[in-house]
Structure 1
Amino acid sequence: MIYLVLLFAYQFYLNSNKDSGLDPFSTIIANQVNAVQNVLGYPSQLYNDVSNEQVWFYVKKQYVTRMVEGCNAISVMILFVSFIFAFYKGSKTFVFVLAGLVLLYIMNLLRIVGLNIVMAEHKEYGKMFHDFVFPAAIYGSVVLLWLIWIKFFALKHENS
């Protein structure tokens, strides 16, 4: 039930931002990725393609990737939150969810930075990193957080 509520809320959010290009949350992430890349020595700029609801990353004088709504990890975060709340344990549930969301947000930011660097430096590995390595990292993080929640919080009183 929580999953469906969050999913419908997210869809409502996306529909309400339909005509403004990439949604505001994804745009914030794109700007943060751009800033991190510049700090790391990868001169970067963004090109906002409003009509196609995407942002292009221009890194080291070349267009390397584009960011669309699916890159913001909200779907992954919704899965994470839904699972944790399925094993609700009071206020610590909210603390764990908040900490987990921050971790997933940072992981996703670094995932996009990493993909842009791979595409700028070793384009031949780009598809493998986009399709396998980085999804494994983000989904693996979710599974690890779920396991931590179950082992150390949700089942703690039952095993004592």
Structure 2
Amino acid sequence: MSKNKTIIIFLIKFFVTYFLLTGMYSFYLSKTQKSAGIFSCAPITRQVADHVSVAAEIFGFSSSVEQNIDELSIAFRLNGQHVINVVEGCNSVSIIILFLAFIIAFKGSVKDTFFYGLFGAVTIYLVNVMRIFLIAVLYQRFPEYRTFWHDLMFPAIIYGYIFLLWVVWVKYFSHYKELKNEQKN
């Protein structure tokens, strides 16, 4: 019975955290982006596009970003060519929420949870910026493989990274071993 209790507590913590953070994010989006008349993306989406542009400049590409006037996205240009649109789903907030809900539900100390959560959120954001930059470069050079890059390769990279972060959390920072020992006794 205690094994089921542990699983139920995990699920409750996970879903409460996930829905609370998702609700806060949805509220933020409702207050910061406009999709009627003049389109305007949320500041976080614009920030991600700006950081992708900085990454492009670091790697020697000419780049620019601007709000699309016809849709809720940021147009990203690489070497003068419009290659991608950065949309709300590209800003990594939703996957950071998923990551945080897991580590909060998979109990660790408050200090470890805070610092690992911060580390994970920042590195997920950075991996995502590089992912978008690489998608833009690959779209420009190999446009015939757009579906492969966007739908298969790069989701595997970002979700694979999050899975790796979760494994490290469970193995080194969570109270999983203590729970396992309690269940044996």
Contact 1:55-1:66 within 8 A present in 2 as well: yes
Partner of 1:115: 135
For structure 2, list consecutive stretches of 5 or more residues without a partner in the other structure: 1-15
2:105 to 86, 110, 116: 86
TM-score (norm 1): 0.93
Rate the CA distance shift 1:21–1:51 in 2: closer, same or farther, 3 A. Answer: farther
Partner of 1:74: 93
Counterparts of 1:60 and 1:128 in 2: how far apart (Å)? Answer: 23
Consecutive aligned runs of 4 or more in structure 1 exceeding 2 Å deviation: 155-160
Counterparts of 1:88 and 1:56 in 2: how far apart (Å)? Answer: 40
Please report how far the alpha carbon of residue 53 of structure 1 lies from its aligned counterpart in structure 2 after TM superposition. 1.7
Identity %: 33
* Alignment map for 1:1-160 (pairs within 5 Å): 1-19=16-34, 21-90=40-109, 91-154=111-174, 155-158=176-179
Q: What is the number of equivalent residue pairs in this alignment?
A: 160
RMSD after superposition: 1.5
Contact 1:47-1:55 within 8 A present in 2 as well: yes
Q: State the secondary structure of the residue aligned to 2:144.
A: helix
Counterparts of 1:51 and 1:10 in 2: how far apart (Å)? Answer: 24
Letter in 2 for 1:83: F
Counterparts of 1:11 and 1:17 in 2: how far apart (Å)? Answer: 10
TM-score (norm 2): 0.81
* CA displacement 1:32-69 (0-9 Å, x = unmatched): 11111022122111121155221111112211000110
Partner of 2:7: none
